[in-house]
């Protein structure tokens, strides 16, 4: 009998609200990602450069991203990985479509700085929290998303900073 190893699920690192700060703890937590999604409020182009040293990056513009570098970022992105379709925007309150009806398996957003993983109407909603300067008493965090045609699993990673 021949045993076949199941291919590894694509791993997506998810980060948001860095506000110009690249924490080494965040880079370590995102290491091993096949792709990094930044859900806005990047803060500076150097943040994207540091993330690109870890993995390819898809980023959206947040409400605090300004200047020529930020104008190059779209307000929304669609990411296709592992047979799944992910909709990325900065503030979930600006979502102007029905993700399930549009065929999206997940919605990735930041803005609130509050990490959250929840499922609604068959759609995964993921907010990685903030990896930038600490706000109030909220944790500093990123997320990991593993995707394939059979599963979509998200995990919040609280950083020890």
Report the CATH number that the domain containing residue 84 is assigned in CATH: 3.60.21.10
Is residue 6 included in any domain, yes or no?
Answer: no
Residues 146 and 9: beta-carbon distance below 8 Å: yes
Total number of domains in the chain: 1
Is residue 66 included in any domain, yes or no?
Answer: yes
Residue 101 has pLDDT above 70, yes or no: yes
Rounded to the nearest integer, the mean pLDDT of the chain is 94
Pairwise CA distance, residues 27 & 119, whole Å: 27
pTM over 0.85: yes
Residues 158 and 140: beta-carbon distance below 8 Å: yes
Residue 121 zone, left/alpha/beta (φ > 0; ψ -120 to 50; rest): left
Contacts of 30 (CB under 8 A, 6+ apart): 13, 15, 36, 51, 54, 55, 142
Summarised one tens digit per residue, pLDDT across range 19-52 is: 999 999 999 999 999 999 999 999 999 999 999 9
Q: pLDDT value at position 3?
A: 54
Q: Percent of the chain scored above 90 by pLDDT?
A: 88
Cβ atoms < 10 Å from Cβ of 142: 28
User: The tokens of 6 are what?
Assistant: 């199941």
Is residue 42 included in any domain, yes or no?
Answer: yes
Pairwise CA distance, residues 115 & 131, whole Å: 10
Summarised one tens digit per residue, pLDDT across range 118-131 is: 999 999 999 999 99
Is residue 109 included in any domain, yes or no?
Answer: yes
pLDDT band, residue 9 (cuts 50/70/90): confident
> Tokens 């200047």 — which residue?
67
Is residue 87 included in any domain, yes or no?
Answer: yes
Is residue 1 included in any domain, yes or no?
Answer: no
Is residue 131 included in any domain, yes or no?
Answer: yes
Residue 80 zone, left/alpha/beta (φ > 0; ψ -120 to 50; rest): beta
Domain that residue 116 falls in: 11-148+153-157
Is residue 2 included in any domain, yes or no?
Answer: no
Q: pLDDT value at position 1?
A: 56
């Amino acid at each position: 009998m021949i045993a076949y190893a199941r291919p590894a699920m694509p791993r997506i690192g998810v980060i948001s609200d860095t506000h110009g700060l690249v924490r080494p703890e965040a880079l370590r937590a995102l290491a091993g990602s096949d792709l990094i999604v930044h859900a806005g409020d990047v803060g500076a182009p150097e943040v994207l450069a540091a993330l690109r040293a870890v993995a390819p990056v898809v980023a959206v513009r947040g409400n605090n991203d300004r200047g020529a570098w930020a104008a190059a970022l779209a307000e929304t992105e669609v990411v296709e990985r592992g047979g799944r379709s992910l909709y990325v925007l900065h503030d979930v309150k600006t979502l102007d479509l029905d993700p399930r009806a549009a065929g999206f398996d997940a919605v990735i957003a930041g803005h609130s700085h509050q990490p959250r993983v929840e499922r609604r109407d068959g759609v995964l909603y993921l907010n990685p929290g903030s990896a930038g300067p600490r706000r109030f008493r909220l944790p500093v965090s990123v997320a990991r998303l593993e995707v394939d045609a059979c599963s979509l699993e998200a995990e919040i990673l609280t950083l020890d900073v």
